[in-house]
Amino acid sequence: MNDNNKLKGKKILITAGAQGIGESITRHFIDSGAHVAIHYFSSADTANQLTEYAIGKGQKAIAVSGDLTKEADAQAMVEKTVEALGGLDILINNAGSLVARKLLSEMEAEFWQKVMDINLTSMMFVTRAASPYLAKNDNSSIVNLASLAGRKGGHPGSLAYSTSKGAILTLTRALSAELGPQGIRVNAVAPGLILGTSFHNTHTTKESAATTTAGIPIQRAGNADDVARAVLYLASEYDGFITGATLDINGGVYNM
């Protein structure tokens, strides 16, 4: 991948940056010449490999562990990032999970809250911790990972997940208005069926994936690189005019 000159030397924090879509996003940033902080929760080996890859290319990199549903961990992660990289230009809020499929009739309050904490509250914690550092630049950028489920409501059993992802669309718009005067743009991407990731390997059957793929106008599922390229585009437009927007990445299944 050729260097993206607008990203070369930029300081990036990617949450859950060592697995699935996050790993692809991190690799694309490294290949674009950026310095990276790679947050992980359980993927220590991959996070360390990515760190070594970036350092081998002459770029700064750090792997940072943490449970982002805990405010103290989110704050510590941001502080370690700024210390290691010397600042922060771009935040990629990628951490999130379906956790499990539960119908409304099966929904316990504890499960509902867990999904909201993982997908939504953690994003608020990280963004609140990072925004003062992002505001120190003339232009900064945040990209949030939402989902097609947040647009359409998802498949049965994804009620809590879909609701949290829909809230991220609203959070993105609200943050763009609040943080815009500080020179911070805030956008989101909403991926559809992205195969080859642990998310769908865990939560999507082969039969369900085949049925969904058959209904995609361009007749294929997405992959992690499809999402990473879109994230890098929005991130690299840190001095651009796009903010409060959601870029849908779904092969034409949903558009508006």
Contacts of the segment 171-177: beta carbons below 8 A, 24+ positions apart: 171/120, 171/123, 171/124, 171/144, 172/144, 172/146, 172/244, 172/246, 173/244, 175/127, 175/142, 176/243, 176/244, 177/244
Q: Which amino acid is at 189?
A: V
Q: Which amino acid is at 155?
A: H
Give 119's DSSP letter.
Answer: I
Q: Exposed, middle or buried, 85 (CB in 10 Å: 0-12/13-18/19+)?
A: buried
Residue 161 falls in the annotated catalytic set: yes
In whole angstroms, give the CA distance from residue 69 to residue 82: 20
First-to-last CA distance in the chain? 31
50-64 in b/e burial notation, b at 16+ Cβ within 10 A? Answer: bbebbeeeebbbbbb
In whole angstroms, give the CA distance from residue 34 to residue 6: 9
Q: Could you count the other beta carbons within 10 Å of the beta carbon of residue 95?
A: 24
Question: Which residue is catalytic, options 40, 53, 133, 161?
Answer: 161
In whole angstroms, give the CA distance from residue 134 to residue 90: 7
**Residues taking part in catalysis:** 161
